[in-house]
Amino acid sequence: MLPRYYEFYNPVKVLSGDHALENLPYEMAHLSASRPILLTNQQLVEVGLTRILESALRGSELVIAAQFTEIPPDSSVHVVNAAGRVFREAGCDSIIALGGGSVIDTAKGLRVLIGQETDDIMQYMGADIVKPARRVPFAVIPTTAGTGSEATLVAVIAHPERQVKMEFVSHHLLPDLAVLDPRLTRSLPPRITASTGMDALVHAIESYTSVQRNPLSDAYAWAAIELIRDHLPRAVANGHDTEARLAMANAALMAGAAFSNAMVGLVHAIGHAVGAICRVAHGDAMAILLPHVMEYNLDLVHERYGRLLLALAGPELYAATPAPERGQQAIAVVRAFSQRLHEACGLPLRLRDVGVTDDVLPAIARTAINDGALLLNPKEAGLDDVLQILRQAL
Amino acid sequence: MRWLKALLLRILLWFLGRGICACARLDSRAAAEVAGWAEGQGLCLQIAPTGPAMALTKSDGRLRFLGLRAEPAADLVIQFKHPEGALPVFLGRQSIAQAYAQRRMTMKGDLTFAMSVVRVMLITEAYLFPGLITRRIMQRVPEREVSAARVYLSTLLTA
Ligand SMILES: [Fe+2]
């Protein structure tokens, strides 16, 4: 069934697999970029990931004109402004982001700053406000397989003084290139592999049931779920399983493209609040909340969840389950999947396992209902509904 | 026809803007939402590129209708990309969420504030439109705390 109207946009060129990094100079040249700034963080430098990039670029025309590594786990407007100064002083003409969610968000903020030729990105926050005067070529090299930020139109950047999380939603934030090279996620520990992988799974499931879902976002979400089903447990069990790592990098990107065009829902609305108030890692919150939110949504989207059973569990279980029970069965499969990851690497299953206590639940719920992700959840949710879900997940 | 639609939009925007203010006075939930807004915090609804607009702001603790005009510096500016995308929303044929899903409008400013604005608009719609209409676009229509007639009267008479 087609929506009465929808939009879909995914201009990101994907370089996936063996020696993907070595193709970067060629691609950047085609974007007329010769002096990129490299954004990353100190930890990734220490693990040696920038060295992998440097050796891949050696002998090419592409010169990293400046490197900016002072990026904390939660990016802020000050970090973006500092990166902007480095960009301008070094006469850079493009951006390469090597890292996870926070590095990529910073890079997106930097692209707004440079593209809009401004000193204050705050005036561009909101949905579809950015309209750059200058095009800044932008490549992303993700080092986790989860956020999918390399294929999304959103960035969240904190403004500590004004106490707001600035949200930017604009197709001008989408990178030109996403480089998926299995060498870069190999060193990710099992626990973080599982947690970030569950984030990708939530992106796919939430976009598949979102009010904004459309046939193209559905296709991306579906493909992502099948890849995650088969490869996340493998990547957790053996980080050097190159095939599984690459599959997860692809799945995260596809799930990102899906939610970039369909948006996420209640799992994210609550998860963002849990993260903001209790400092719980995003992927952990996603893994914990997913089955509880699915239970909540079930009566309105049991048909959609029922279809997802095929992607989540494969044809045998799907065929053996009577149609009216498939939605509920899909939730059971998700629970079993998390349980399996819990046994393999200690992925948390309850909010209390990550330090959330009963007394902060009302505050979490109040924050959650002001999260934009709530708007497109298939089932409306108020304060009491969120509180109930939180209690169940505790 | 174009001018007729523009006129219709002006009338609907006037009712919505003043209706929101009336609800902030008469409905406890709307009042509680607005109580959470900062002094001077404001909203502008606009139909691009040259269409009508309306603005609201909180001053002296009360929500006030600033009239049918654009307020580009408001904390939140919701701008519909064209009148055809705006009409179904203001006629109660489409929910705000659906319009957003169809990317009919841009939103400039704090999206957290936008969620509070959306809740107030839902409450207002529950008074301004008959249940027959709101039930089609909302899963849970907010219960009316006072009669729709009172809200209409307040919308028409109190600025
Ligand atoms: Fe996420």
**pLDDT tens column, A26-66:** 999 999 999 999 999 999 999 999 999 999 999 898 999 99
Q: How many whole angstroms from A272 Cα to the centroid of ligand 1?
A: 9
Residues of A23-46 as b/e, b for ≥16 C-beta within 10 angstroms? ebbebbeebebbbbbbbbbeebee
Burial class (CB in 10 A: 0-12, 13-18, 19+), A269: buried
Q: How far apart are CA B71 and CA A126, in angstroms?
A: 16
Instruction: Give the distance (Å) from ligand 1 centre to CA of residue B130.
Output: 38
According to DSSP, residue B44 is labeled: E
The closest alpha carbon to A175, from A151, A155, A146, A154, belongs to: A151
Query: Phi, psi (5° rounding) for residue B37?
Result: -85, 150
Return d(Cα A74, Cα A100) in angstroms, integer: 11
End-to-end CA distance of chain B: 30
Classified as helix, coil or strand, B71 is: coil
Compare CB distances from A374 to B109, B115, B138 and report the shortest one's residue: B115
Pairwise CA distance, residues B102 & B108, whole Å: 17
Q: Where in chain A is the domain with CATH 3.40.50.1970?
A: 13-184
Cβ of A379 under 8 Å from any chain B Cβ?
yes
Q: Which residue among B101, B106, B140 places its CB closest to the CB of A126? A: B106
Least Cα separation, residue B78 to chain A (angstroms) = 9
Cβ(A259)–Cβ(A333) under 8 Å? Answer: no
Strands of A94-99's sheet in order across: A13-16, A177-180, A138-142, A94-99, A36-39, A66-68
Torsion of CA B118, B119, B122, B123, to 10 degrees: -140
Residues in B touching A3 (Cβ below 8 Å)? 101-102
Residue A384 contacts B, CB cutoff 8 Å? no
**Do B115 and A5 make contact, defined as CB atoms within 8 angstroms?**
no
Written in H, E and C, the secondary structure of chain A is CCCCCCCCCCCCEEEECCCCHHHHHHHHHHCCCCCEEEECCHHHHHHCHHHHHHHHHCCCCCCCCEEECCCCCCCEHHHHHHHHHHHHHCCCCEEEEEECHHHHHHHHHHHHHHHCCCCCHHHHCEECCCCCCCCCCEEEEECCCCCCHHHCCEEEEEECCCCEEEEEECHHHCCCEEEECHHHCCCCCHHHHHHHHHHHHHHHHHHHHCCCCCHHHHHHHHHHHHHHHHHHHHHHHCCCCHHHHHHHHHHHHHHHHHHHHHCCCHHHHHHHHHHHHHCCCHHHHHHHHHHHHHHHHHHHHHHHHHHHHHHHHCHHHHHHCCHHHHHHHHHHHHHHHHHHHHHHHCCCCCHHHHCCCHHHHHHHHHHHCCCHHHHHCCCCCCHHHHHHHHHHHC
Pairwise CB contact (< 8 Å): A125 & B110? yes
Does B101 reach chain A within 8 Å, measured CB to CB?
yes
In angstroms, the CA B26 to CA B44 distance is 22
Q: Of A127, A258, A149, A275, nearest to A203 (Cα)?
A: A258
CB atoms A126 and B115 under 8 Å: no
Quick check: is B159 in a domain?
no
> Looking at residue A74, what is its pLDDT?
85
Residues of chain B with pLDDT under 70: 159
CB count in 10 Å sphere of residue A219: 14
Residues belonging to chain B: 159
Q: Where in chain A is the domain with CATH 1.20.1090.10?
A: 190-393
In a domain, B28, yes or no: yes
CA A97-A98-A103 angle, 5° bins: 65
C-beta separation of B114 from A372 below 8 A? yes
Residue B46 sits at the chain A interface (C-beta within 8 Å): no
Residue A337: C-alpha distances to residues A329, B19, B159 (Å): 12, 49, 57
A217's tokens: 């976002």
How close is the nearest chain B Cα to the Cα of A128, in Å? Answer: 5
| Optimal mutation site among B33, B115, B121, B137, interface A, most CBs of chain A within 10 A | B115
Residue with tokens 């007394």: A359
CATH of the domain at B69: 3.30.1050.10
Q: Looking at residue B159, what is its pLDDT?
A: 62
Give residue B35's domain range: 2-153
Count of the separate structural domains present in chain B: 1
**Residue B158 domain flag:** no
Interchain pair A167, B108: CB under 8 A = no
Distance from CA of B111 to the nearest CA of A (A): 6
> Encoding tokens for residue B23?
């609800």
Q: Are B16 and B10 in contact (CB under 8 A)?
A: no
Q: What is the CATH number of domain A13-184?
A: 3.40.50.1970
Structural contact between residues A288 and A308, judged by C-beta atoms closer than 8 angstroms: no
- In the reported structure, the alpha carbon of residue B39 is separated from the centroid of ligand 1 by a whole-number distance in angstroms of 34
pLDDT tens across the length of chain A (394 residues)? 799 999 999 999 999 999 999 999 999 999 999 999 999 999 999 999 999 999 999 989 899 999 999 999 888 999 999 999 999 999 999 999 999 999 999 999 999 999 999 999 999 999 999 999 999 999 999 999 999 999 999 999 999 888 888 999 999 999 999 999 999 988 899 999 999 999 999 999 999 999 999 999 999 999 999 999 999 999 999 999 999 999 999 999 999 999 999 999 999 999 999 999 999 999 999 999 999 999 999 999 999 999 999 999 999 999 999 999 999 999 999 999 999 999 999 999 999 999 999 999 999 999 999 999 999 999 999 999 999 999 999 9
Q: H/E/C letters for each residue in B10-40? A: HHHHHHHHHHHHHHHHHCHHHHHHHHCCCCC
pLDDT of the residue at B158? 81
Angle at B73 between CA B67 and CA B78, to 5 degrees: 70
CATH topology of domain A190-393: Dehydroquinate synthase-like, alpha domain (1.20.1090)
Report the distance separating Cα A249 and Cα A142, nearest Å. Answer: 8
Residues of B in contact with A264 (CB under 8 A): none
Q: How far apart are CA A148 and CA A252, in angstroms?
A: 5
Rounded CA separation A300/A378 (Å): 7
Any domain includes B112: yes
